[in-house]
Amino acid sequence: MKKLLLIPVLVLIITACKDYNGEIKRIPVAKAGDEVLYYDQIPRIVQPGTSIADSTAIIRSYVNNWIKKELVYAKAEDNLTAEHKSEINRQLEETRANLLIYHYHRQMMVQKMDTVVSENEIFSYFTNNEESFMLTTNIVKALYIKIPLEAPNIDKVRQWVKSSDNSDLNQLESYCYQFAVKFDDSDEEWIAFNLLQRELPDYIDNQENFLRRNEFYETTDDNFIYFVHLRDYRLRNSLAPIDYVRSEIKSIILNNRRIEFLEKLESGIYNEAVKAGTFKIY
Instruction: Tell me the pLDDT tens digit for each residue of 125-153.
Output: 999 999 999 999 999 999 999 999 999 99
What are all long-range contacts of 259-265, with beta carbons under 8 Å and residues at least 24 apart? 261/108, 261/109, 261/112, 261/113, 262/105, 262/109, 265/105, 265/108
Average confidence (pLDDT) over 95-104 = 97
Please indicate whether residue 63 or residue 20 has the higher confidence score (pLDDT).
Answer: 63
pLDDT at 7 over 50: no
pLDDT at 2 over 50: no
Nearest of 193, 93, 101, 180 to residue 141 by alpha carbon:
193
Q: List, in order, residues 6 or more apart from 35 with CB less than 8 Å away.
A: 70, 74
pLDDT at 12 over 80: no
Q: What angle do CA 84, 87, 88 make, to 5 degrees?
A: 85
Other CB atoms within 10 A of residue 80 CB: 13
Average confidence (pLDDT) over 49-64 = 89
Tens of pLDDT, residue by residue over 185-195, are 887 899 999 99
So what's the pLDDT on residue 39?
A: 87
pLDDT at 3 over 80: no
Average confidence (pLDDT) over 56-68 = 92
- Distance CA(269)–CA(35), nearest Å, equals 43
CA of 241: how far to CAs of 14, 90, 143, 178, 234, in Å?
A: 63, 51, 19, 34, 8
Q: List, in order, residues 6 or more apart from 130 with CB less than 8 Å away.
A: 239
- Distance CA(17)–CA(184), nearest Å, equals 58
So what's the pLDDT on residue 50?
A: 86
Instruction: Decide if 21 contacts 51 (C-beta within 8 A).
Output: no
Which residues does residue 4 pair with via DSSP β-bridges, in sequence order?
32
Please indicate whether residue 91 or residue 41 has the higher confidence score (pLDDT).
Answer: 91
Average confidence (pLDDT) over 179-203 = 92
Average confidence (pLDDT) over 142-168 = 94
Tens of pLDDT, residue by residue over 209-245, are 999 999 999 999 999 999 999 999 999 999 999 999 9
CA of 165: how far to CAs of 24, 171, 176, 190, 203, in Å?
A: 72, 10, 17, 22, 31
Tens of pLDDT, residue by residue over 18-44, are 555 556 678 899 999 889 999 888 888
Q: Is the pTM above the cut of 0.85? A: no
pLDDT at 14 over 90: no
pLDDT at 119 over 90: yes
So what's the pLDDT on residue 211?
A: 96
Average confidence (pLDDT) over 151-177 = 93
Average confidence (pLDDT) over 262-278 = 95
DSSP secondary structure letter of residue 23? P
- Are β-strands 191-192 and 139-148 bridged in parallel, bridged antiparallel, or unpaired? antiparallel
Q: What angle do CA 167, 173, 175 make, to 5 degrees?
A: 105
Percent of the chain with pLDDT over 90: 76
Looking from the CA of 92 toward its CB, the CA atoms found within 13 Å total 6
CA of 32: how far to CAs of 29, 66, 174, 209, 282, in Å?
A: 10, 9, 67, 72, 48
Which residues does residue 224 pair with via DSSP β-bridges, in sequence order?
148
pLDDT at 267 over 80: yes
Q: What is the mean pLDDT of the chain?
A: 90
